Amino acid sequence: MKAIKIYSLSGGTAVDDELRAYAQGLDMVCGELETLQRESFTATAADYGLVNAESLLQIGAATDTDERRNAILKRCAITPNDFTVGSMEQIFAMEGIPAKICEKVNEKSIYVNCFDELSSPEKRTAVLRTAKNYLPAHLNAELDFRSISWNNIDGANETFDTKDAFSYTWDAIDGFDGKMVRI
């Protein structure tokens, strides 16, 4: 505390002791208020402020503080102009989700190919959450987690006759392995 020179304080009086006790208590409160102020703003947060924002926005935590801040700022800066195919792919990329998005204009829906890397249930849940939170609500969306891709087909080294022997219908191929989700 700063001296206001109302009292003549020599350093050994009861008032001096009382003021020192007040000063210690107020210093703790001031320290906590400074921390609260710092953690309340993304640009200055470094601890629980980032954790709270990441939890609220359902963002996976990055390791670097600046990366964490940037992810929060980008997520909060989404505008109606960000619903282009490229912008939507970027939203998935911010979550660490490789995805290719195609518009199905005639069906008024969006097709999201989530690639083969997303075989774990946790990744699928993250994709579903991101899609529900950030894809345009007025459009239907199809999330494709199937591992049936041209790369997988070519890599299997099977002939057409081998595949044809399974007698899959187009509907069976469309719903292959139960990994097509419509929202």
DSSP 75: H
For residue 44, the model assigns a pLDDT of: 94
For residue 129, the model assigns a pLDDT of: 82
Instruction: Parse the chain into domains and list their residue ranges.
Output: 1-39, 78-182
User: What 3-state class would DSSP assign to 95?
Assistant: coil
For residue 142, the model assigns a pLDDT of: 87
Nearest to 125 by CA among 62, 58, 63, 73: 58
- Block means of pLDDT (10 residues each) for the chain, 183 residues, are 69 84 93 95 93 85 84 80 84 80 90 72 79 85 74 68 73 59 71
Nearest to 105 by CA among 89, 127, 85, 88: 85
Structural domain 78-182, CATH architecture: Orthogonal Bundle (1.10)
For residue 124, the model assigns a pLDDT of: 77
